[in-house]
């Protein structure tokens, strides 16, 4: 980008999203979680950092480049937070109920490792209900956007409909 202030803002946002207040912090929590007694708040925080921070950066970068107004950026942050958590719950559901051949990976790893997950803390039915509520909330965060946000709406829905 030709504007050095835009470049600096993008770099700063990526550094935050990937550093200790983002993905690296979430990964650290995940490593500490082995053997730790994590409650729902801790698991939610871990996933917001580990998965949600980078999703949030992707939307934030688009908002910076597109010069989205602050209220629109706030909606995009809410969308990213909710889609990130819905994605992780869907991943937990796939780990418990999915088909290893379709998923292309070994399943039941978290349960076998005794890791605290949304499923282990909420149970499958409550976790699925929470996942769908988060997708609805994510889509609602886009209310100020028109058809230009239809792809984001579709991504939110795909997050919980995927089989891998």
Each residue of 64-122: pLDDT tens digit? 999 999 999 999 999 999 999 999 999 999 988 877 777 677 778 777 777 889 999 99
Picking from 97-101, 127-131, 134-138, which range would have the lowest pLDDT averaged per residue?
A: 97-101
> Given this model, what pLDDT does residue 109 score?
79
> Given this model, what pLDDT does residue 113 score?
74
Each residue of 22-41: pLDDT tens digit? 999 999 998 887 767 899 99
Over range 129-145, report the average pLDDT: 97
Picking from 26-35, 131-140, 147-156, which range would have the lowest pLDDT averaged per residue?
A: 26-35
Give DSSP secondary structure letters for 76-113: HHHHHHHHHHHHHHHHHHHHHHS-HHHHTS--SHHHHH
CATH placement of domain 4-161: 1.10.600.10
């Amino acid at each position: 980008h030709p504007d050095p202030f835009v470049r600096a803002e993008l770099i700063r946002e990526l550094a935050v999203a990937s550093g200790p207040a983002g993905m690296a912090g979430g990964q650290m929590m995940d490593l500490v979680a082995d053997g730790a007694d994590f409650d729902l708040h801790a698991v939610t925080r871990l996933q917001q950092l580990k998965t949600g921070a980078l999703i949030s950066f992707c939307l934030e970068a688009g908002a910076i480049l597109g010069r989205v107004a602050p209220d629109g950026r706030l909606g995009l942050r809410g969308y990213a937070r909710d889609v990130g958590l819905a994605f992780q719950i869907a991943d937990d559901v796939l780990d418990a109920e999915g088909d290893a051949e379709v998923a292309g990976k070994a399943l039941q790893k978290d349960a076998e490792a005794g890791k605290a997950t949304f499923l282990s803390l909420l149970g499958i039915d409550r976790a699925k209900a929470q996942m769908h509520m988060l997708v609805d909330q994510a889509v609602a965060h886009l209310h100020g956007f028109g058809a230009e946000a239809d792809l984001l709406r579709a991504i939110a829905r795909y997050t919980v409909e995927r089989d891998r």
